[in-house]
Amino acid sequence: MKPLVTEKAVRLIEAENTLVFEFDKRKSKTEIKKELEEVLEVKVDKVRTLIRDNKKYVYVKLNKKNLAIDLATKLGLM
C-alpha cells in the first residue's frame, strides 16, 4: 500500500473525500477494503480499482464521518 500524491489525487481528496493508493495487483477489492479499515482505522464506503502499466491504482471513498483531508494530513500527504 502506497499513497499517491498527484494533482488529481489532491483534487479527489478535497472534492470527493477520496484517497488514491497503489496496491499489489493480486489483491481483491474486499481484501483492500479490510486492510485499509484495519490499518488506517477508517470506514470505507467504496473501493474502485484501475490497472495501468502493470500497477493497480485504488480509489477509496471514505465515509462522511472520516474526512480524507484529515487522513491525508495524518499520512503526511498534505
**Residues 67, 58: contact at Cβ < 8 Å?**
no
How many Å from the N-terminal Cα to the C-terminal Cα in the chain?
18
**Residues 37, 54: contact at Cβ < 8 Å?**
no
Tell me the three cell numbers of residue 57.
Answer: 491504482
Where do runs of H (alpha helix) occur along 6-58? Answer: 7-16, 29-40
Please give the Cα distance from 36 to 59 (Å, whole number).
Answer: 12
Whole-model pTM: value is 0.90
**Confidence band of 67 (pLDDT split at 50, 70, 90):** very high
Q: Which fold has domain 2-75?
A: Alpha-Beta Plaits (3.30.70)
pLDDT of 28 higher than 90: yes
Mean pLDDT value across residues 38-53: 94
